Amino acid sequence: MSTPLPFYQTGTFAVGGRLLDEDDRAVQSDPERSNAITKGHRACQGCGEALGARVVLDAALRAADGRLVAANATGCLEVFSTPYPESSWRLPWIHSLFANAPAVATGVAAALRAKGRTDIRVVGQGGDGGTVDIGFACLSGMFERGDDVLYVCYDNQGYMNTGVQRSGATPPAARTATTEPLGGHSGNSFGQGKSAPLIAMAHEIPYVATATVADLRDLEQKVTRAMSFHGPRYIHVLVPCPLGWGSATGETILIARLAKESGLFPVFEAVEGRITSVARIRHKVAVEEYLRRQKRFAHLFAGDGRPDVLARLQTLANRNIERYGLLDDADEPTDIGLLDALATSERGPV
């Protein structure tokens, strides 16, 4: 918020509030919001991706005055929203393939440019698999060419639509259908990680941000901000998946919040390759508090537990906290260059 709000119980934490000015309320509080995805979709109960996508697109629609086209990768979001004969989308929307959403979006943008339709804006979107793995070449190409596309990754940290397999965004130690904690293994291995947002920043595109469904207003503001730029923009949204994470359906937002508050998922914003703001941790929690609520980490707590693995995960969180300055007493993180960031750590956000 640029202008300080008069004090109100929930400040900017809740979606709206009867005492807030219209302008200070989230798009999601508007009874007239677009509902880019409408009801009747087939997402699981408590699906973070369904929520995240509506929030993102409603904000983008508002920013674009309703003139928006979306290109969607294969994945849960696509499958649960468009099983013939019913579509949940209320904006022009196309699904082509798993790996090509950024390129399809480029094609849409190119067509609009050729036709001189500067009024219509373009969003590409997909899951973490479609984004950081199989669609990565298309994404990078779109960034590098400078195409006028906002791309949004809904990160549920795995290939959920195919039954919860590991993706490049699956965190270490998580159990998936392909990283079972068998034979002495403790879930997904501790790899080098792959931070799509940092890689996006390395393309020096105008705008990169991370967000979670735990802070809808922050997410909306980032979308709105992103829409104020032209050229390639990237937003990476953490969207818990109750099915894949083995979490209670009612705790989707809670868990996203814990991911951020533990430091495992840093929430920040970067303009032209430099981090310009981070969302500070408000009530710091140990990673354990986040992990315990998810069955995909249950093996870390069974029997004698795996304190060694927990310690490694905590180290990752601590590293993020230090690197991004996530705690209140940290130095103002403005203007962290990518290289500075990389210099202090060998890993990206988990």
Partner 1 sequence: MSDTRPFAITLDVGSSLANRTGDWRTERPQYVRRLPPCNHGCPAGEDIQAWLYEAESGGGGYERAWRKLVADNPLPAVMGRVCFHPCETACNRAQLDEAVGINSVERFLGDEAISAGWELPEPHAVTGKRVLVVGSGPSGLSVAYQLALRGHHVTIREQAPKPGGMMRYGIPAYRLPRDVLDAEIERILALGVQLECGERVGDLRAAMREGAYDATFLAVGAHVAKHTEIPGGTASHVLDAIAMLHGLEEGEPPQIGRTVVVYGGGDTALDAARSAKRLGASAPLIIYRRTREQMPAHATELAEAEQEGITFRWLSTIAGVDGGELKIERMELDENGFPQPTGEYERLSADTVVLALGQDADLELLGGLDGIEIVDHTVAVDEQMMTGYPGVFAGGDMVPAERMVAVAIGHGRRAARCIDGWLRDVPARPEPQAELAAFEEINPWYYSDAPRTVRPLLEEIRRQSTFEEVVKGLDEASALYEARRCLSCGNCFSCDNCFGVCPDNAVLKPGGAGAPYAFDLDYCKGCGICVTECPCGAIEMIPEET
Partner 2 sequence: MRKQLEGSQAVAQAVARCRPEVVCAYPITPQTHIVEALSRLALSGELERCEVVNVESEFAAMSVAIGASATGARAYTATASQGLLFMAEVLFNASGLGLPIVMTCANRAVGSPINIWNDHSDSMAMRDCGWIQLYASDNQEAVDLHIQAFRIAEALSTPVMVCMDGFVLTHAFEPLDVPSQEQVDGFLPGYEPRQVLDPDDPMTIGAMVGPEAFTEVRYLAHAKQIEALDFIPQVAEEFRERFGRASGGLLDSYRSEGAETVVVALGSVLGTLAEVVDELRDQGVAVGAVALKAFRPFPLEELRGVLGGAQRVIVLERALAVGIGGIVSSDVRTALAGLSVEAHTVIAGLGGRAITRRSLHALLAQALAGQLPELHFLDLRTDVIERELERTRDGGRPGPHAESILRDLRIVASGPV
Ligand X SMILES: Cc1ncc(C[n+]2csc(CCOP(=O)(O)OP(=O)(O)O)c2C)c(N)n1
Residues within window 92-111 making contact with partner 1, judged by CB under 8 A: 93
129 binds ligand X (CB under 6 A): yes
Q: How many CB atoms lie within 10 A of CB 45?
A: 11
Backbone phi, then psi, for 150, in 5-degree steps? -95, 120
28 binds partner 1 (CB under 8 A): yes
Q: Site for partner 2 (CB under 8 A): which residue of 19, 21, 144, 249? A: 144
Instruction: Count the alpha carbons within 13 Å of 31 in the hemisphere toward its beta carbon.
Output: 2
Least distance to ligand SF4 from the beta carbon of 244, Å?
A: 5
Q: How many CB atoms lie within 10 A of CB 119?
A: 10
128 binds ligand X (CB under 6 A): yes
Do residues 232 and 188 make contact, with C-beta atoms less than 8 angstroms apart? Answer: no
Buried b (16+ CB within 10 A) or exposed e, 173-207: bbbbeebebeeeebbbebeebbbbbbbbbbbbbbb
Least distance to partner 2 from the beta carbon of 89, Å?
A: 5
From ligand SF4, Mg ion, partner 2, none, interface partner of 143 (C-beta below 5 to 8 A by class): none
Instruction: Count the alpha carbons within 13 Å of 167 in the hemisphere toward its beta carbon.
Output: 27
Residues within window 112-141 making contact with partner 2, judged by CB under 8 A: 112-116, 120, 137-138, 140-141
CA angle 259, 265, 268 (to 5 degrees): 125
For tokens 């807030």, the residue is: 20
Least distance to ligand SF4 from the beta carbon of 125, Å?
A: 13
Per the omega criterion (within 30 degrees of 0), is the bond before 102 cis?
Answer: no
Residues within window 207-246 making contact with partner 1, judged by CB under 8 A: 216, 242
342 binds partner 2 (CB under 8 A): no
DSSP secondary structure letter of residue 86: -
Do residues 211 and 51 make contact, with C-beta atoms less than 8 angstroms apart? Answer: no
Q: Report which secondary-structure segment, H or E, holds 324.
A: helix 307-324
What track of x and - describes contact with Mg ion for positions 127 through 156 (by CB under 5 A)?
A: xxx--------------------------x
Least distance to ligand X from the beta carbon of 33, Å?
A: 23
Residues within window 248-267 making contact with partner 1, judged by CB under 8 A: 248-254, 257
Least distance to partner 2 from the beta carbon of 105, Å?
A: 6
Backbone phi, then psi, for 183, in 5-degree steps? 55, 40
Nearest to partner 1 of 47, 122 (CB atom): 47
Nearest to ligand SF4 of 172, 242 (CB atom): 242
| Positions in the binding site for ligand X (CB under 6 A) | 49, 74-77, 98-99, 126-130, 156, 158-162, 167
| Positions in the binding site for partner 2 (CB under 8 A) | 66-69, 71-72, 78-79, 82-85, 87, 89-97, 99-100, 103-116, 120, 137-138, 140-141, 144-145, 147
